[in-house]
Chains A and B, each alone.
Chain A
Amino acid sequence: MKIYLYDSTFNGLLSAIHVAFYSKEPELEIIREDDYLQTTIQEILYIPTNQEKSDKVAQAIKEKISLTAFNNIYYAYLSEYIDAGTKILAYLRLGFKKGSEIDCYSFLDEVKSIHGYRSKVLLEKHRMLGFVRFQKYPDYFLSIIEPDHNILHLIMPHFVARLPKEKFIILDKKRQLAGFYNGDHWKLMPLTINTDSQAEDRYTLLWQDYFTTIAIKERLNTKLQKKFMPARYWKYLTEYKTKS
């Protein structure tokens, strides 16, 4: 089994797919270089990112399969599952055979896994629109998140539309990546912050009170609560911070 490594960018992945299509390799894996753990038995090939190849692949997918298929593999890529690259390759191989009907084949594993990854990413994106919590600092708002998937840039436009007059930063601590909005436009930049501690103010406390007050004890159902709001997200939720 041969392994292709790429530089973790979407263009890098598409470049690797380009190479894969032209190689005669029947079985190969495509993995982000960060995810790769050295073992001796595998043969590795590092694929450099090549804009031209990447563009060609993107265009071919949109024209010969569909725009939906292109979006699907993009979301699957953002899932960052270790086997996402390999699964995307399999989906595309089938896609070039079946054309625009590819997404009807949800009973085939190649399609089912990509749909599954896409749903997970979109679900988390939607959840994060609600679970982001901003802390107020003198002249900006800050939010820290640690999403499972790489969704920061997907949620930024929502918050820009919501708070057009404020300056804010949303930091994806896991990926050391921050979305900055300066009141006019937004961009992504690498950023490392070590602390988890966040500013507290009167409204933080009011919110905690509100949160406790409105639960109806006769209907207590924490299983259900956790189903909708899995415990891994609680770390940055203001309502779960203990009062100081």
Chain B
Amino acid sequence: MDIEMKLKILAAAAKYDVSCSSSGSNRTNSHDGIGNASTAGICHSFTTDGRCISLLKILLSNICIYDCSYCLNRRSNDIPRAFFTPEEIADISISFYKRNYIEGLFLSSAIVKNSNYTMELLLQTVKLLRNQYDFNGYIHLKGIPGSDEKLIEEAAGLVDRISFNIELPSEKSLKLLAPDKDSNSILTPMSFLDEQSTIKKAERKTSKNKGFFIPGGQSTQMIIGASQDTDYQIINLSEKLYENLHLKRVYYSAYVPVNIDRNLPVIFKPPLIRENRLYQADWLLRFYGFKAKELLNENTPNFDLNFDPKTNWALNNLDYFPIEINQASLKALLRIPGLGLRSAYRIIEARKVHRLEFEDLKKIGIVLKRAIYFLTCNGKYFSEIKLEEKSIRRKLNPGIDLNDFDNPKEEQLTIFQEKCLPTEEFLPGLTGEL
């Protein structure tokens, strides 16, 4: 099989893995090598689905001994299979890198023969790139669950980031959809890497060991909508992963219905809005000082997709509002729906020299569409409607029910096809102002 064919097969097989970022690592090049890794991720291109291409994302092989229901590469699927040699991967990575197509490599694999065999091949590829080719670009390696800690540790000494994908947020769903995996085989290596990172960091301080150990940390991914798990379960798990295992990122990937399986829900399209709401909630956990239990609870375990998670929270906590722009702390400003980090800092800068009037907010670029209902400026409330749940809900309602739109029943499909969503508000992986 020629390289062109292999690349097509093994890139297609990897494409549902969402983590694209090359950020979080900062290394300068040794003068003889190739490449550096910069802290702010660099996107080299954007696919027609609007996702950033930063890394060459491929599988070493899509030949798998496992049979996970949601996965295109499952053993029981009749699809073309391919296998890259470590040399081929190194050659493509270096050639793409020099042409500035990519920031580095994101290498993963299906489980060929067994976990250790696969992990060894991945390690061999990484070694070839780092040691033989002096490649200093970014490498994100997928860890293979169930492989030896020794192999994992060695790889961690060479690559920028390692991720073990959790895929499903509960043991129950794993049992149902990925019967060959269990959460221990995923969480154990994650906590092993976390411990090692702490040890290595301490060692670096006492200068015993100047070695390199996943400077970009760990990340993981969860599939959204392939199981019955609730948003509450998902963000609770994310919160724990950030707090206890110090993950750099949790990625959420709307399930694309690639297989038909009696254990899988029947869905007609990937739940992109839900995915987006989870990213927004994730942002709130990491940068806005929110706790998972503030956003959802046992009684309301799923987001109302019509509103972003912060607006949802605000509507349920109206006694917290209105917030006075000229006095509020950073923490309080960040509770205002639609007012993000950048806006909050702008307000804090500007009010050092001037008492802000409502007009000033517009001038410094604060988007008031949602914020206006939740703030006062010099004691004055500017919205034409009362600070009252029902009225605000009515105002901010998107017009169509996004809960149905995201997860349509068969008979709704044609109705929704004609409607367009305001794409601006639904950036995958997101960011911006919440």
Contacts and interface: CB of A to CB of B under 8 A. Distances in A.
Interface SS, A side: helix
Contact of A239 (B45, B54, B98): B45
Given A141-B99, A165-B32, A165-B34, A220 B364 contact: no
5 contacts: A127-B43, A130-B43, A130-B45, A228-B46, A229-B46
Nearest to A239: B45
- Closest 8 A-B residue pairs measured CB to CB? A224-B50, A219-B49, A215-B47, A107-B360, A107-B363, A221-B50, A130-B44, A203-B95
A219 B406 CA distance: 12
A238 B46 CA distance: 13
A218 B269 CA distance: 7
Interface string B53-72: 11011000000000000000
A172 interface: no
A24 interface: no
Contacts of A36: none
Contacts of B360: 107
Given A101-B352, A204-B99, 11 more contacts: A106-B363, A107-B363, A207-B99, A211-B53, A216-B15, A216-B16, A216-B47, A216-B256, A218-B269, A219-B254, A219-B270
Interface stretch (B1-9, B187-195, B283-291): B1-9
Interface residues of A, number: 56
Interface of B: 3-4, 7-8, 11-12, 14-16, 28-29, 31-36, 38, 40, 42-54, 56-57, 92, 95-96, 98-101, 103, 254, 256-257, 269-270, 272, 346, 349-350, 352-354, 356, 360, 363-365, 423-424, 427-428
B350 A106 contact: yes
B350 to A, nearest CB: 6
Given A133-B101, A223-B423, A214 B42 contact: no
B363 A112 contact: yes
Contacts of A108: 363
A225 B47 contact: yes
Q: Chain B CB within 10 Å — which of A163, A210, A223, A237 has the most?
A: A210
A221 B256 CA distance: 15
Contacts of B56: 210
A161 B28 contact: yes
A214 B50 CA distance: 11
A213 B11 CA distance: 7
B270 A164 contact: no
A104 B350 contact: yes
Contact of A225 (B32, B48, B349, B356): B48
A113 B288 CA distance: 29
A220 B47 CA distance: 9
Contacts of A141: 98-99
Given A106-B364, A162-B29, A211-B45, A228 B50 contact: yes
Given A162-B29, A162-B34, A134 B98 contact: yes
Q: Chain B CB within 10 Å — which of A127, A132, A218 has the most?
A: A218
Contacts of B269: 218
A130 B100 CA distance: 7
A104 B356 CA distance: 12
A19 interface: no
Nearest to B18: A216
